[in-house]
A and B are shown apart, each in its own frame.
Chain A
Amino acid sequence: MAFNFQSLQKQLPAWFRQGGAEGDVVLGTMGRLVRNLPGHAFPGWSTAEGRKAVADILLPAILEQPGFKNAWHAEMTELDYGFRRALLERRQISPCMAARQGGCHLLMNRKQDTVVMINEEEHLAIHSFAPGFDFDTLLQQLYRLPMGLSQALDFAQDAHTGYLTSLPAEAGEGVQLYTVLHLPGMTISNMVPQINRGIEKLQLHIAPFYPHLGEECGCTYILYTTPAPLGALEDTVAHLTTITGTLIERENQVRARLQEMTLRGDVFAIDRLNRSYGLMQYARAITAAEWADAISMLRLGVAAGYITSPDATSDELLAELAGLAIQGGDFATTAPTTERRHPREATAAELARCTAVRHFINHTTLHTAPATA
């Protein structure tokens, strides 16, 4: 089945829209699993024929697996720059894959929680996503395909090193894990660089989720480990879980402090929330960066009770908005078609965004102090 960009734009992966039981701090978890075939040059070193040979082995085998029988599939040559960029922005593909051409294939299951890359940096690379803070679900999802494939295929491995990868330092379990964190409190308070220095000593890293938006923008981050060495998968999960827990705690403390400051009459803490609400209400052309920032602040506002709706659906309304974030362009217009100076045809994505923004503004109220339930 060929990729249908329209439908991909409409239904974004679940974790883009909802958080987990930990509230809105952890948006989701991500995993990257890589495997290679023995006796074939790695994609970065192979020739066009070599890549084709690898794809001829992997592609039919993957399309046999449960969940992938009617998966979306394309050779990279069929995908345009905008589509590649949209996938890259959501971290569904790696930067390396974004540049790939012939003999390199992309697959995505219908649930959109798992993306499979053939001839990326490694022969097989799988990116999987799960909403909330639940590594059990994520790992099950991530391992389903390689477990099925290993019945029919041998992957390159070595008893002492583990799964072999093109970069020797990444050999081992062939798995790298991430949590996606929403940290507006720490971002407003400028605490992220400090956190970064602290966790680097613990072999963890934090980076903006949308690196292309530039620094100082957006409050969504990934916290990630280096690829797990052989036998270290459980430890890696435990380590990442602990540190994520610490960050949730810190973020909630910072948010509580911001709340206190607001109640004492400090306008600083609540200024950005109000600006973001105003931006959504009145802006007509928003950059992707502004959009991401505003969504972040609105999330915080909903979580802290500054934004409510009469029927208590502000969560859902926000989820709808957040699901429409940044789609492969620098500008997100929110102007209704009737307001357009140059009434070119609005894209489906623009119309959806416009509707979602109207919905959110018309059905919510912004308070000067948290509304207590």
Chain B
Amino acid sequence: MKKCQICGKRASIYLTQIINGQATDLALCETCAREKGLFDPQSLTFAEKFFPEVFRKSVDKIVKELIGQAEEAPAATPKSRCADLLTCCPTCGYKLENFRSCGRLGCSDCYNVFASEIRAEAGAEESGEPLPAEEAAPVSPALQRSRLEQKLQAAIEREDYETAATLRDELKKLN
């Protein structure tokens, strides 16, 4: 049985990541994974099996962060009771920064806690629709590529691997 590298409890999430040519095994308990803002850790298992390249890229960031943190503060106690009711949901402990990083919510009560943030996001998305002028102008392949890459990055961040797969295919077609 592997132990969580942060708190020492029983780990249930295992990630293997190649960093600088070395395979790094990472074991975490679900609580610590959540603490690190790793939304829906189980879905990474899916991504690893069905969608390896994107998985690696996506986990790379997290792992680097975690390793850095683990060295600085080994066995830190994961504690997350809400300090601030405006940025943390009292029902599920979800934080505003979690929402900002993955666009998902922790529970149905989060809708009230983060109401203004959700409205702002929805507004931004609407105005972020492709502009007609932009559509009409011929887009250089390089620009097209960087746009797709941005979209892909965003999809990976929300862990929307289905969209990511489609975008990856579109990128491949540009090659």
Question: Chain A interface (Cβ within 8 Å of chain B)?
Answer: 36-48, 81, 95-96, 98-101, 121, 156, 158, 161, 164, 166-169, 171, 207, 211-212, 215
Given A45-B34, A168-B105, A212-B50; A96-B43 close (CB under 8 Å): yes
Which of A41, A81, A100, A169 contacts B49 (CB under 8 A)? A81
CB proximity of A164 to chain B, nearest CB, Å: 4
Contact B92 A45 (CB under 8 A): yes
CB proximity of A202 to chain B, nearest CB, Å: 13
Q: Which of B117-125, B137-145, B149-157 participates in binding chain A?
A: B117-125
Give the one of A36, A95, A169, A212 with max B CB within 10 A.
Answer: A95
Q: Is the interface of A mostly helix, strand, loop or mixed?
A: loop
In Å, the complex CA distance between A38 and B166 comes to 33
Which of B46, B50, B91, B158 contacts A39 (CB under 8 A)? B91
Q: Which of B19-27, B57-65, B66-74, B107-115 participates in binding chain A?
A: B107-115
Contact A161 B111 (CB under 8 A): yes
Contacts of A45 in B (CB 8 A): 34, 39-40, 92, 94, 104-107
Question: Chain B interface (Cβ within 8 Å of chain A)?
Answer: 12, 30-31, 34, 39-40, 42-47, 49-50, 91-94, 103-109, 111, 118, 121-122, 125, 158, 161-162, 165-166, 169, 173
Contacts of A158 in B (CB 8 A): 111
Contacts of A164 in B (CB 8 A): 108, 111
CB proximity of A108 to chain B, nearest CB, Å: 20
Contacts of A168 in B (CB 8 A): 103, 105, 111, 118, 121-122
Contacts of B40 in A (CB 8 A): 43-45, 96, 121
In Å, the complex CA distance between A331 and B144 comes to 36
Contacts of B125 in A (CB 8 A): 169
CB proximity of A76 to chain B, nearest CB, Å: 9
In Å, the complex CA distance between A244 and B7 comes to 54
Contacts of A96 in B (CB 8 A): 40, 42-43, 46
Q: Is the interface of B mostly helix, strand, loop or mixed?
A: helix
Given A39-B108, A164-B111, A168-B121; A48-B162 close (CB under 8 Å): no
Given A45-B40, A167-B103; A95-B162 close (CB under 8 Å): yes
Contacts of A161 in B (CB 8 A): 111
Contact B161 A40 (CB under 8 A): no
Contacts of B162 in A (CB 8 A): 95, 211
In Å, the complex CA distance between A37 and B91 comes to 13
In Å, the complex CA distance between A99 and B30 comes to 15
CB proximity of B116 to chain A, nearest CB, Å: 12
Contact A38 B49 (CB under 8 A): no
Contacts of A44 in B (CB 8 A): 39-40, 42-43, 104
In Å, the complex CA distance between A100 and B121 comes to 29
Contact B105 A42 (CB under 8 A): yes
Contacts of B111 in A (CB 8 A): 158, 161, 164, 168, 171
Contacts of A42 in B (CB 8 A): 92, 104-108
Contact A156 B108 (CB under 8 A): yes
Contact B161 A95 (CB under 8 A): yes
Considering the complex, give the chain B residue whose CB is closest to the CB of A49. Answer: B30
Query: Known pairs A39-B107, A39-B108. 14 more at Cβ < 8 A?
Result: A38-B109, A41-B92, A42-B107, A43-B40, A45-B40, A45-B104, A45-B105, A95-B162, A99-B44, A99-B46, A166-B104, A168-B103, A168-B111, A169-B122
